[in-house]
A and B are shown apart, each in its own frame.
Chain A
Amino acid sequence: MLEIENLSAWYGEAQALRDATLSVAEGEVVTLVGRNGAGKTTLVRCLMGLHKHLTGSIRLDGREITSLPAHKRARAGLGWVQDDRGIFANLSVEENLLLPPKVSDSAWTLEQVYDAFPALGSRRRAGGTTLSGGEQQMLAVARVLRTGARLLLLDEPSEGLAPVIVAQIGDIVRTAKQSGIGVLLIEQNVRFAATVADRHYLLAQGRLVESLDNDEFVERQDELLEHLGI
């Protein structure tokens, strides 16, 4: 459903992405693994139309979206969960959930969200950023599920969270996958990545250096950990 071809991106003169070509299919979980500064966030910002200094092509369901503004990409089905979780402080938990417009029929209802995330239901009137870090991450993911986004772009969702919460995020990713949603998961947590993903891309200094299926990935886990400097 998502096809990226020869994507290059720059900050001024500095090139942050070099000829990245990758794809994510429906119901497929694909990770993008790489150290800090490898260009992972830049890549998703390019996908969302927030980073504009780029060349190459981005297609969603065969449709060229490279020059669409951000809000149209969201409406085309991209569901972005920002690396800082992107929760609005001036909006309540429920308003954070209701802000983005529905983009497909597979949108979750508020009831479904609160069933799946009881912590959000009990704090629905509280300010978005009064939640704990883990709850905010749940809120950010629930928010894009509520829109019915068909491709999730998760930027390091497990970062800084306790293992129980990370496991919970894994469950959500698997649930999403089962309903046919594609997931591009940015991770530095190699062990977590191996538990949820079908395929993996390794990004180093803006270049996709490897593309592995999950078995190869698990086999070479130690080597990859070393590469990531963890």
Chain B
Amino acid sequence: MNAVLQYTVQGLAAGSFYALAALGLAVIFGVLGVVNFAHGAFYMLGAVAAAVLLDTVGMSLWLALIVVPLLMLVFGMLVERLLVQWLLPLDPLYNLLLTFGLTLLLVDLVKRRYGVSGLPYERPEALSGRVQLGGVGLPVYQLFVIGVALLVCLGVWLLMTRTRVGMIVRAATERPELAGALGINVGRWVTPVFGFGVALAGLAGVLAAPFRAITAEMGSDFIIILFAVVVIGGLGSIVGAVVGGFLVGLVEAFGQAYAPTFAQVLIFVLMAVVVLARPAGLFGREEATA
């Protein structure tokens, strides 16, 4: 019983990174139709930025949680304006290739500058150690990660469902041409939405910094699992991204605990099962894939 609680928290914490990043992937895919392969690299950049800012200017994790996503927002908007935008009229495959290339570039640049051995990141005092919950000592940092992720997911959900911007994004995701013909300048939202999605990947990276090894390659496995997450949740579905993220995190944690050799495989088994039962994913719409 104790172990179950422990693995659950561990899985939800790992799932938090997936949920946040997948949320970003989902809004980008929804509005731009772009499968952003560079999302793992943006996650890595978020973690590296947090580590570098701590090392050079002593920026605390608290501040980095706000500053780094803002930097990533600007960076993402630049990437969209300078690169992604030009390929949007073409087959989406071109932007998949572009973001794949961008990934190689970013990973190599980080390797050159910071090496391959990984950057250190010291956890803030307040977030270290364990708390006793139901007779189990649970790592404070994992609980913190889950809390932040849930808060941000809730915020994004409110943004999507309660604001005019969210309404426009939902409409543009479902039927961009129709939204345009009803007077919505869909093109105006493309750059900020891309930046927003990248910022979410960056936020996941900052949260991961004190928790995972910070290396140039940390996004490579991450992006693969992220693709499994969005396939499970339903490509372009916001709710699906979050549910899929936490679900995959749990499968991973319990897999590592009870069947370590199959932990990764289990995620893809889950993906296969979901796709067989519901080709559009748990929360995807069949027609939305057209």
Chain A residues within 8 Å of B, Cβ to Cβ: 48-50, 69-71, 73-75, 80, 82, 86, 88-91, 95, 98-101, 103, 143, 147
Nearest-CB distance from A77 to chain B (Å)?
Answer: 10
**CB contacts between A and B, total, < 8 Å:** 62
Nearest-CB distance from A79 to chain B (Å)?
Answer: 9
Number of B residues with CB within 8 Å of any CB on chain A: 18
Select the residue from A75, A91, A99, A143 with max chain B CB neighbours within 10 A.
A99
Residue of A nearest to B186 (CB): A71
Task: Contact check, A82 vs B178: say whether CB atoms are below 8 A apart.
Answer: yes
Task: Contact check, A70 vs B171: say whether CB atoms are below 8 A apart.
Answer: no
- How far apart are the CA atoms of A66 and B175 in the complex, in Å? 23
Neighbour of B285 across the interface among A49, A89, A98, CB < 8 A: A89
Neighbour of B171 across the interface among A48, A49, A74, A88, CB < 8 A: A88
Contact with A along B157-185 (1 / 0, CB 8 A): 00000000001101101110111111111
* A contact face: mostly helix, strand, loop, or mixed: loop
Q: Which residues of A contact B179 (CB under 8 A)?
A: 99
* B contact face: mostly helix, strand, loop, or mixed: helix
- How far apart are the CA atoms of A226 and B173 in the complex, in Å? 43
Nearest-CB distance from A183 to chain B (Å)?
Answer: 17
Nearest-CB distance from B213 to chain A (Å)?
Answer: 39
Nearest-CB distance from A222 to chain B (Å)?
Answer: 36
Task: Contact check, B181 vs A70: say whether CB atoms are below 8 A apart.
Answer: yes
- How far apart are the CA atoms of A158 and B220 in the complex, in Å? 54
Residue of A nearest to B237 (CB): A90
Neighbour of A88 across the interface among B174, B177, B180, B183, CB < 8 A: B174
Q: Which residues of A contact B185 (CB under 8 A)?
A: 69, 71
Residue of B nearest to A100 (CB): B182
Task: Contact check, A99 vs B167: say whether CB atoms are below 8 A apart.
Answer: yes
Task: Contact check, B182 vs A74: say whether CB atoms are below 8 A apart.
Answer: yes
Nearest-CB distance from A163 to chain B (Å)?
Answer: 28
Q: Which residues of B contact A90 (CB under 8 A)?
A: 170-171, 173-174
Knowing A95-B167, A99-B167, A99-B168 are in contact, say whether A74-B174 is a contact too (CB < 8 A): no
Residue of B nearest to A86 (CB): B178
- How far apart are the CA atoms of A56 and B180 in the complex, in Å? 22
Nearest-CB distance from B90 to chain A (Å)?
Answer: 16
Task: Contact check, A99 vs B181: say whether CB atoms are below 8 A apart.
Answer: no
Q: Which residues of B contact A73 (CB under 8 A)?
A: 181
- How far apart are the CA atoms of A80 and B175 in the complex, in Å? 14
Knowing A88-B174, A90-B174 are in contact, say whether A147-B183 is a contact too (CB < 8 A): yes
- How far apart are the CA atoms of A48 and B179 in the complex, in Å? 12
Q: Which residues of A contact B168 (CB under 8 A)?
A: 99
Residue of B nearest to A147 (CB): B183
Nearest-CB distance from A8 to chain B (Å)?
Answer: 21
Neighbour of A80 across the interface among B182, B184, B186, CB < 8 A: B182
Residue of A nearest to B30 (CB): A90
Contact with A along B109-140 (1 / 0, CB 8 A): 00000000000000000000000000000000
Neighbour of A143 across the interface among B167, B182, B186, B285, CB < 8 A: B182
Cross-chain pairs A/B with CB under 8 angstroms, 5 sampled: A49-B181, A50-B180, A50-B181, A88-B171, A88-B175
Task: Contact check, A80 vs B170: say whether CB atoms are below 8 A apart.
Answer: no
